[in-house]
Homo-oligomer: A and B are copies of this chain.
Amino acid sequence: MSQRDMKATDMQNRIDAITHAINPHRLWDSIMEMAKYGATANGGVNRLALTETDNNVRLILLEWINRPNYQFFVDAIGNLFIRRDGACPSSAPVMTGSHLDTQPSGGKFDGIYGVLAGLEVFRTLDDLEMVTSSPLELAVWANEEGCRFVPGCMGSACFAKPEDLMHWLAITDSENISVGQAVACFHRTMAGISHRPLGIPVQAYVEAHIEQGPILENTAATIGIVSGIQGCRDFQVIITGMEAHAGTTPASSRHDAMKTAVQLLHDLYTDEALASDECRFTIGAFQVYPNSSSVVPGRVVFNIDLRHPLQSSLTVLGNKIIELCDKHSHTGRCRIQAKELRWRRPIELGKNIPDLIQNAADRLTLPSRVLPSGASHDAVNLYQCCPTGMIFVPCEGGISHNEKENAAFGDLHAGAQVLAEVLYRLAENSRESML
């Protein structure tokens, strides 16, 4: 047996030991424990970004892993990092993670699974007393969901492009609290935790996540190897009319922001390209002012979430939205402003990490398939920094962003095993050639 073959066998043995030692009960129990914080009456979770509840669960996470071989860091946008020491401390870390914030009526698995699968890998390595060559890091990204503060994936975006920090900190929620104020509050919760600059070098990033769509379930695959993530454009539309008394103001003298909104939205919803199954066009956030049944609305503010796998279609469709807003602004009795909040190109994740995920799934004899991600993830931003991959596991009925969100014990276990193998191989990469 050559030295190379011996090394390979040794590596194989260590990986077998790790994947075998992954404890699915500990993983499941951690997910269920986390779900208590912000639990809703219908079995979901309401844990908006950078709220007290969100801050507190991140503190709880630190308590769970408080051992001497770990260091904790926060950064200026409110990300949290749990660093597991490596034999070569100067190596850039291999990173995994996701987010702990949820939608207002979110589920128990979206985001949380990626964080706690990473935690389970770390705990397993601790159980086996194994030290990786490169350090490992578990990232908890701030404001992935983008409901309290629009847009989402803010923490990872700022990590990838630290020069945008000031822009993000100035964004406010519906109660006029800024990201900056909310992050300051997070830092107070994290008193005593070291601060670290944004955008430190990262060797590789691997994120585990529930699919949030029906493809894996429909094709009986346990592991999804994510090939890329569709692009998106987010708009905020502000329609300004004039408040008036609902009983005394005739239709001809109204400047009814709600009526204008319906005319515009009717044109958008009946557009064939926007309604095609390749495209995702959503009006999810919609606010009427002053929102009283006997007052003609003077202002309507809503968000448009547009996604498409092709950059060319994203360009055409997004521009059409802007044109329709302009058209209705000129023909109607209200002023319409369409503000582009974000434009993210579709990305392809390449071969590097996806191949490692594929190999791990094959070795563990887990049925897998390659698929694109319909949802945005923090991985999109990390892809700007380093080789990046995503591991999907099925979720029941493809239902997510919903209190009914569910995932199978065995699938969550399998995903954590694949994550463990990929992270370990990457973290040993600096010591041994990839095998």
Contact = CB atoms under 8 A, between A and B. Distances in A.
A246 B307 contact: yes
Interface stretch (A21-29, A185-193, A293-301, A418-426): A293-301
Given A248-B374, A285-B288, A307-B246, A401 B295 contact: yes
Given A103-B295, A147-B294, 14 more contacts: A213-B245, A243-B401, A243-B403, A245-B400, A247-B373, A247-B375, A248-B400, A251-B280, A258-B284, A262-B269, A284-B296, A286-B286, A294-B376, A296-B401
B283 A258 contact: yes
B284 A249 contact: no
A411 interface: no
Contacts of A403: 243
A69 interface: no
Contact of A247 (B105, B151, B259, B307): B307
A310 interface: no
Contacts of A285: 288, 291-293
A90 interface: no
A399 to B, nearest CB: 7
Contact of A105 (B290, B303, B401): B290
> SS class of chain A's interface: helix, strand, loop or mixed?
loop
Most B Cβ at <10 Å: residue of A253, A258, A291, A305? A291
Contacts of A151: 293
A292 B398 contact: no
Q: Considering the complex of A and B, which 7 residue pairs feature the smallest CB-CB distances, nearest first?
A: A248-B374, A213-B248, A293-B303, A147-B292, A246-B282, A247-B375, A250-B277
A398 B251 contact: no
A39 B2 CA distance: 84
A156 interface: no
B305 A276 contact: no
Contacts of A296: 282, 284, 401
A284 B295 contact: yes
11 contacts: A103-B295, A213-B245, A214-B253, A246-B401, A247-B280, A247-B375, A249-B374, A252-B277, A284-B295, A286-B297, A293-B305
A104 to B, nearest CB: 4
A232 B151 CA distance: 42
A145 B292 contact: yes
Nearest to A281: B251
B294 A152 contact: yes
B298 A245 contact: no
Interface string A119-136: 000000000000000000
Contacts of A286: 258, 286, 288, 291, 297
Q: What is the interface residue range for chain A against chain B?
A: 35 or more
Contacts of A248: 211-213, 280, 373-375, 398, 400
A297 B303 CA distance: 12
Task: Please state the number of chain copies in the assembly.
Answer: 2
A288 B104 CA distance: 12
Interface of A: 103-105, 145-147, 150-152, 211-214, 230, 232, 234, 242-253, 256, 258-259, 262-263, 265-266, 269, 275-277, 279-298, 303-305, 307, 373-376, 398-403
A71 to B, nearest CB: 33
A321 to B, nearest CB: 14
A251 B269 CA distance: 10
Most B Cβ at <10 Å: residue of A213, A304, A307? A213
A280 B249 contact: yes
A293 B150 contact: yes
A347 to B, nearest CB: 14
Given A248-B211, A248-B213, A266-B262, A282 B293 contact: yes
Contact of A213 (B146, B249, B256): B249
A409 to B, nearest CB: 22
A234 B253 CA distance: 22
A284 B263 contact: no
B293 A147 contact: yes
A293 to B, nearest CB: 4
Contacts of A247: 212, 230, 232, 280, 305, 307, 373-376
